[in-house]
Amino acid sequence: MLRHYTLPAHEPCQTRTYPFFCVLFSLIISLSSAKTIAQTPDAFEIKLKQIEYIDVNTKAHTYIDGTNTSTVIKLPRNYNHIFVSLEDDSSIQYSYKVTGEASLSQWKNAGSEIHLVGLSRGDHELHIRGERDGQFSSNVLQYDIFIKTPFYLTWWCISIYIVLALLLFYAFISLESKLLEERRDRNLEVSNLEAKAYRAQMNPHFIFNALNGMQGAMVLGGEKEFNKYMASFSRLIRDTIDMSSVDKVTVADELRYIKNYVELQDHRLDQKIDLEINVDPKIVQKAVYLPCMMLQPIVENAIVHGLIPKKDTGEIKIKFDLENEMLRISVTDNGIGREAAAAQKEGYAKYKSHATQIMRDRIDIFNYYNKQKLSFEMIDLYNDDGTPSGTKAILYAPLDLKTRN
């Protein structure tokens, strides 16, 4: 039996065109794939052969094989020379960088041998990559390198150094301060002893003269004058003894002593001595201090060398005022003057008073051992006609005198 098959209307067309398009599509895909394969090089990995590190002191070598999978390398403090060997492939350009090392923080080209010499102690990260035909390796070798810091450079040890240094510095300063204080105390003690020696040197001749005056008062003035003289003498001796045990006194105490001294001299001499004292109201007499018995030698010098040779009434003016934050003390007499006193050959001029020289020596000693300074000067006074009219002694002393009693 003959059978007839009727094809759908579209089948003839599909049967004729499908192979053509399939072949064309396959050809396009093949060409595209071939082009992509030709343009893209094969991916590659870089491999480690070994890592060698060297003790800079003993030159001992230690190796890490490339099969070791550990990426953490802890080294003793002396092992800071590291050599890295990579797979030798001339087609690969290796490069590396080391974080934690300023000079190696950027990528640097290298061959298959990388030399890291003199790495600083501490934490580092070593990164290694390869490049071939413009393509980087699919892997980057990374190693954490820790070079141990010597114990003497660790933060806790440095902290101990700083603390010890501060303690030593403090001990040195304290010792130096103590030595300076002891030296100052010894020097001040020497100064006080020498000052007392000068006072003792001055007192005997004054006492001798006072006793002679006492005898004269008894003979010439009788018992009443003698008793008056004895009262002044007793007060002066008592004040002298008290002052010999200290190195400073108030202005009030010094002036009281001077008044007693001049009063006693006035009793025993054949002439009148007028004493005038002026103190600036700004000066608190019981709160401002002077080296003890500093004015007595000046007044003694004025009486012995200025007033006694004059034979008539003498005047002594003592003035306390302030000048440039210093205490200024002037002692003025109307005596014969220093030139005439030096020319005297008889009478009281034969008596050589050491009072002024003693006072100058005391000032020198005081200034040598103390930061605060005293100064002293003598001025000759003249009348309008050029004849001597006396002398003026000026003493400058600090307002806040600091000495040790």
Task: Name which of 20-24, 36-40, 79-83, 231-235 the model is least confident about.
Answer: 36-40
- Give the pLDDT confidence score for residue 224 in this predicted structure: 75
Angle at 188 between CA 184 and CA 192, to 5 degrees: 175
Distance CA 233, CA 239 (A): 10
Tell me, what's the pLDDT at 362? Answer: 78
pLDDT at 270: 65
**Is 110 within the bounds of a domain?**
yes
Q: For residue 350, what pLDDT band results from cuts at 50, 70 and 90?
A: very low
Q: Is 386 left (phi over 0), alpha (psi -120 to 50) or beta?
A: left
Mean pLDDT of the chain: 78
232 and 360: one domain? yes
Nearest to 199 by CA among 232, 235, 237: 237
Q: Is position 161 within any domain?
A: no
> Do 232 and 276 share a domain, yes or no?
yes
CATH number at residue 296: 3.30.565.10
> Mean pLDDT lowest for which of 26-40, 61-75, 230-244?
26-40
Confidence of residue 405 (pLDDT cuts 50, 70, 90): very low
Share of the chain above pLDDT 70, in %: 74
Q: Are residues 236 and 289 in the same domain?
A: yes
CA dist., res. 13 & res. 11, Å (int): 5
Confidence class of residue 317 from pLDDT cuts 50, 70 and 90?
very high
Domain identity same for 393 and 277: yes
Q: Is the pLDDT of residue 16 over 90?
A: no
- 7 or 384: whose pLDDT is higher? 384
User: What is the pLDDT averaged over residues 381-389?
Assistant: 90
Pairing status of strand 326-333 against strand 388-398: antiparallel
Q: Last residue of some domain: 149, 165, 200?
A: 149
Instruction: Say if residue 64 is exposed, middle or buried (CB neighbours under 10 Å; 0-12, 13-18, 19+).
Output: middle
User: In which domain, by residue range, is 91 found?
Assistant: 48-149
How many domains does the chain fold into?
2
Q: What is the pLDDT of residue 253?
A: 92
Burial class (CB in 10 A: 0-12, 13-18, 19+), 141: buried
Closest CA to 71 of 88, 85, 51: 51
Q: What is the pLDDT of residue 20?
A: 60
Share of the chain above pLDDT 90, in %: 21
pLDDT digits 0-9 by tens, 245-295: 777 889 999 999 999 888 888 877 766 889 999 999 999 999 999 888 788
Mean pLDDT (whole number) for 113-139: 87
Q: Which has the minimum average pLDDT: 104-113, 116-125, 183-192, 196-205?
A: 196-205
Q: Smallest Cα–Cα separation from 381: which of 373, 371, 370, 391?
A: 391
Q: Are residues 202 and 58 in the same domain?
A: no
The domain boundary residue, chosen from 149, 172, 207: 149
The pLDDT value recorded for residue 35 is 47
- Average pLDDT rounded to a whole number, residues 66-90: 78
- Would you place residue 217 in the very low, low, confident or very high pLDDT band (cuts 50, 70, 90)? low
- Residue 388 maps to a domain: yes
CATH for 120 = 2.60.40.10
Same domain? For 121 and 252 the reply is no
- Residue 154 falls within a domain, yes or no? no
Pair 141, 193 in one domain: no
Residues 138 and 266 in one domain: no
Beta partners for 273? 314
Which residues have C-beta within 8 Å of that of residue 187, sequence separation ≥ 6?
368, 369
pLDDT band at 5 (very low <50, low <70, confident <90, very high): very low
β-partners of residue 382 are 388
